Amino acid sequence: MAAVTEQTVLSVRHYTDRLFAFRVTRPASFRFRSGEFVMLGLMINGKPLLRAYSIASPSWDEELEFFSIKVPDGPLTEHLQHIQPGDTILLGTKSVGTLVHDALLPGEHLYLLSTGTGIAPFAAVVRDPETYERFSKVILTHTCREAAELTYGVELVAAAKADPLVGEMASAQLIHYPTTTREQTARMGRITTLIETGELFRDLGVPAFDPARDRVMICGSMEMLADLKALCEAAGLEEGANSRPAHSVVEKAFAG
């Protein structure tokens, strides 16, 4: 098992019967890049049970935030959803991931495409000053089944625009594009459909994907990842990596 440390749960908030967020202490020695994930878990029946979790707080935050789904009978989340402030949680000592600026070439527009708890790494990215220094426009899309599941993203964007560090830049450059697929709201549809039909670009008043200008980060369900990756490739956006930056990146370690 990878090396872990014991950290203390600082706060827990339940958004719906399926989604919750929590914050834990951050070890002084723990370093990460905004957008990375880390192994996180609990001691279950005397044994450590860990899963990969995107870090929802930016690299400068003194605490670590996570956004989780509650999976019925999930080996870890059936226990994790019941944590309370003061409880102990296991945290890996090394973070990794592809949803980082190092994996993308310079560009003008940064699209952060997410479904469900896939918004977690982008919660870190939109609160990182480097994001706004590298891109003139940052488009955060978040698609969920019901309106209540969008609350985390709505509050995230409001907090980013009010943040003393990035607030001025976020207010001028960050665009929030939430949609629902089940409950009737002002904007509906799967993000893949909205890209295919061009509705996303018409709503934003920008041209369709162009490798000369646009960069894309993707995080969500496995089906969504595959569909969006195909759309990006069709538009000429090549997938990048830390060792070979390109036009788009996909978080393969995440599915939720």
Domains of the chain listed by start with CATH number: 4-92 (2.40.30.10), 101-250 (3.40.50.80)
Closest to 58 measured CA to CA, from 140, 131, 135, 161? 131
Instruction: Give the residue-averaged pLDDT of 200-205.
Output: 97
**What is the per-residue pLDDT for 217?**
98
Collapse the DSSP code of 149 into the 3-class scheme (helix H, G, I; strand E, B; otherwise coil) and give the result.
helix
DSSP output for 2-57: --EEEEEEEEEEE-SSSEEEEEEE--TT----TT-EEEEEEEETTEEEEEEEE--S
Between CA 224 and CA 227 the distance in angstroms is 5
Check: CB of residue 225 under 8 Å from CB of residue 192. no
Per-residue pLDDT, 193: 97
Rounded CA gap, 195 and 201, in Å?
Answer: 7
Averaged pLDDT, 159-183: 98
Residue 63 pairs in a beta bridge with: 25
Chain centroid, CA 33 distance in Å: 13
pTM over 0.85: yes
Please provide the size of the chain in residues: 256
Q: Tokens standing for 56?
A: 């929802």
Give the whole-angstrom CA distance, residue 127 versus residue 50: 26
Is the pLDDT higher at 74 or at 168?
168
Q: What span, in angstroms and rounded, lies between the C-alpha atoms of 105 and 51? A: 30
Res. 2 pLDDT band, cuts 50 70 90? low
> What's the mean pLDDT in 103-127?
97
pLDDT score of 25: 98
Task: Reply yes or no on whether the pLDDT at 135 is more than 60.
Answer: yes
Query: Which of 116, 107, 106, 196 minimizes the C-alpha distance to 149?
Result: 116
pLDDT one-digit tens code per residue, 217-235: 999 999 999 999 999 999 9
Distance in angstroms (rounded) separating the CA atoms of residues 214 and 237 = 8
Task: In whole angstroms, give the CA distance from residue 144 to residue 111.
Answer: 17
Alpha helices in 90-221 (DSSP H): 120-125, 129-134, 151-162, 167-173, 191-196, 199-204
Q: Residue 175: what pLDDT?
A: 98
255 pLDDT higher than 60: no
Does the structure show a pLDDT above 90 at 162? yes
pLDDT, tens digit, 9 for 90 and up, residues 233-249: 999 999 999 999 999 99
Joined tokens for residue 250:
């996909």
Separation CA 107–CA 212 (nearest Å): 7
**Model confidence band, residue 54 (pLDDT cutoffs 50, 70, 90):** very high
Q: How far is CA 103 from CA 26, 36, 48, 125, in A?
A: 25, 12, 32, 13
Question: 19-25 and 109-115: which strand pairing?
Answer: unpaired
Residue 256 has pLDDT above 50, yes or no: no
Q: What is the pLDDT of residue 228?
A: 97
The helix (run of H) or strand (run of E) holding residue 143 is: strand 137-144
Mean pLDDT of the chain: 95
Average pLDDT for 132-157: 98
Mean pLDDT of 152-165: 98
